[in-house]
Amino acid sequence: MENSHGVKEDTTANGYAKKWWKEAVVYQIYPRSFKDSNGDGIGDLPGITSQLDYIKGLGVDVIWLSPHFDSPNADNGYDIRDYRKVMTEFGTMVDFDELLKGIKQRDMKMILDLVVNHTSDEHAWFVQSRQSKDNPCSDYYIWRPAKDGKEPNNWISFFAGSAWKKDASRGEYYLHLFSEKQPDLNWDNPKVRSEVHDLMKFWLDKGIDGFRMDVIPFVSKDQSFPDFPKDFDGRPEYIYAAGPRLHDYLQEMNRQVLSEYDVMTVGNGAKIRRI
């Protein structure tokens, strides 16, 4: 039987279509600590490739590869400097292609971390965004002026302290729900969403099988940026995950990207509580 996208699917005895992702065993690999192939003390992509028979023997169906993208590593690779480049310590794009080829040859699949709530402050978009208020990437991130001489609101970072940092070159505060080296992208800007869709297609067209979506509930922000309420219970994720357009953005992502591929996605984030 074929689904609406022409992808063949097995069926169970009772006629219901089986979904490969419902029954798959997923194995997470953090490249830096998995297997060092060249003796430099850092795990790498060729090291993973060398162990694919072992991984297959464990009964694994899907490898979830933690971030392998170019990064200054302020947050273990979750601060991405270039979404289309492999971290130098881990190897090259050729190494990635060989890893993916080896996975496919063993009838396994691969999913990648999709880290798009924020980037590294060294990403080209942010380097340009912080320069002025009128450059092409000016609104790729969330900038606000000071409020009464202080931060725009009382939001806190998961890495402690304020979720806002004053940028001397631009003269405004930028939002960072995590490290100050991880500025939050402005998903209300359609150009940002289009950039995300393009980078997803880049990897999907290589043949990967989906994404684990890092802190995806946080991508929509209430643009009025109200202070935490008086009954705030110390769990900011409940507020950050309650953005007004989250489902609009995810549905758009499905229409523009995911519906065109036979892939799995796994959302990472927080429980949502409306306030």
The answer, yes or no, to whether residue 16 has pLDDT greater than 90, is: no
Distance between CA atoms of residues 198 and 37, nearest Å? 32
Buried b (16+ CB within 10 A) or exposed e, 126-158: beebbeeeeeebbebbbbeeeeeeebbbebbbe
For residue range 248-273, what is the model confidence (pLDDT) as tens digits? 999 999 999 999 999 999 998 654 43
**What is the reported pLDDT for 69?**
98
**What is the reported pLDDT for 2?**
52
**What is the reported pLDDT for 271?**
47
Confidence of residue 235 (pLDDT cuts 50, 70, 90): confident
Query: How much is the pTM?
Result: 0.91
Distance between CA atoms of residues 103 and 111, nearest Å? 11
Q: Tell me what the mean pLDDT of segment 210-216 comes to.
A: 97
β-bridge partners, 265: 211
The answer, yes or no, to whether residue 275 has pLDDT greater than 50, is: no
On whether the CB atoms of residues 173 and 152 are closer than 8 A, the answer is yes
Q: Tell me what the mean pLDDT of segment 63-68 comes to.
A: 98
For residue range 69-103, what is the model confidence (pLDDT) as tens digits? 999 999 999 999 999 999 999 999 999 999 999 99
